[in-house]
Amino acid sequence: MANGRFGDICLEAVLANGTVLDMLGTLRKDNTGYDLKHLFIGSEGSLGVVTKVSILTPPKLSSVNVAFLACKDYLSCQKLLLEAKKKLGEILSAFEFIDNQSFNVVLNHLEGARNPLPPSMHNFYVLIETTGSDESYDKEKLEAFLLHSMEGGLVSDGVLAQDINQASSFWHIREGIPESIMKAGAVYKYDLSIPVEKMYDLVEEMRVRLGHSAKVMGYGHLGDSNLHLNISTPQYDDAILAQIEPFVYEWTSKHRGSISAEHGVGLMKANKIHYSKSAETASLVQLMASIKKLLDPNGILNPYKVLPGSLASSS
């Protein structure tokens, strides 16, 4: 959240015809012409083979604080995010939300997971991390924010990690959700980017749609508008999949979201890319196909990925 998606990246790539593109310049600022490296970032090897990468990594700061909080509803989570951005500012490095269903599956299936806020169970949980260079200042700032949030009714309960072990136990819960869900049965996973105010509407609508045939869970990076929608069933079922898709993609498209926030398009979603690029912006996908044709006229670089089959074959 704090350092953005890519940071500062330089790279070298080899085109389909063997041309080597050296984009490893060390200049922080260079506005002479097109910044071509961004063509290759996220292209999943379909435009060229990336052979070298240089990444500017931010220094590891010494002061890290983690809080695990409970909220009564999703609206409170949204408001808490806005307050965190205002009150914590530059030290806010993570804002993760977990719904009750996701939290329960972790407690039931993840080894070593414990409820940080016993004995009560809450509707939503939020993990907040701050990162800075002044330990006393950062902790005081976070404590003041937590007090303000509790007094304002945004937070029902909460705990601030007292040491690195407790902080790690909080992160263990958040990072252990995918593993826990896989242990619970078959799982249908969706990595979506949706406006924050609409994000949890999809989870609730999917629960109504599937009823008792599945457990629908929502969690993710609220600070980045990234929802991980996971649907758990005792076993894989084509009838349930037909209820999920294409509904989940159509819903995301309707709310101007992305069907792949982090995980790329690859082969499985290539023919679904239009859900993220609406009819009004169909020219964007056509332009992608034109770029593919220019750089890889014979279609030998990672074929059948990223672009729909109809465009990939005709590009």
**How does pLDDT run across 194-203, given as a tens digit for each residue?**
999 999 999 9
pLDDT band at residue 3 under the 50/70/90 scheme: low
How remote is the C-alpha of 212 from its chain's centroid? 27
Task: Name the token pair of 11.
Answer: 């790279």
Backbone angles phi, psi at 232, to 5 degrees: -110, 135
pLDDT at 278: 63
User: For the ranges 64-78, 159-173, 273-287, which has the lowest average pLDDT?
Assistant: 273-287
Name the strand (E) or helix (H) holding 13.
Answer: strand 8-14
Summary mean pLDDT of the chain: 92
Cα dist from 38 to 1, 34, 54, 224, 228, whole Å: 20, 9, 13, 20, 26
Q: At what angle do helices 74-88 and 135-151 cross, to 10 degrees?
A: 140
CATH class of the domain defined by 8-56:
alpha beta
Domain boundaries for CATH 3.30.465.10 within the chain: 8-56
User: Is residue 182 within a helix (H) or strand (E), and if so which, with residue range?
Assistant: helix 177-184
> Where are the domain boundaries for CATH 3.30.70.2740 in the chain?
191-263
Contact partners, residue 158, CB within 8 Å, separation at least 6: 67, 68, 69, 70, 117, 146, 149, 150
What gap in Å lies between CA 45 and CA 49, rounded to an integer? Answer: 6
More confident of the two residues 235 and 2: 235
- Decide if pLDDT at 204 tops 60: yes
List where CATH 3.30.70.2190 sits in the chain: 63-177
Tokens, residue 194: 């949706």
**Whether residue 303 has pLDDT greater than 80:** yes
**Mean pLDDT, range 47-72, rounded to an integer:** 93
Quick one: angle between helices 196-210 and 74-88, nearest 10?
Answer: 160
Q: How far apart are CA 120 and CA 108, in angstroms?
A: 15
Other Cβ atoms within 10 Å of 266 Cβ, number: 14
Residue of 87, 76, 91 lying closest to 124 (CA atoms): 76
Q: Is CATH 3.30.70.2190 the classification given to domain 63-177?
A: yes
Q: Is the pLDDT of residue 5 over 80?
A: no
The domain defined by 191-263 folds into Alpha-Beta Plaits (3.30.70)
* pLDDT tens-place string over residues 114-159: 999 999 999 999 999 999 999 999 999 999 999 999 999 999 999 9
| C-alpha closest to that of 258 among 193, 307, 191 | 193
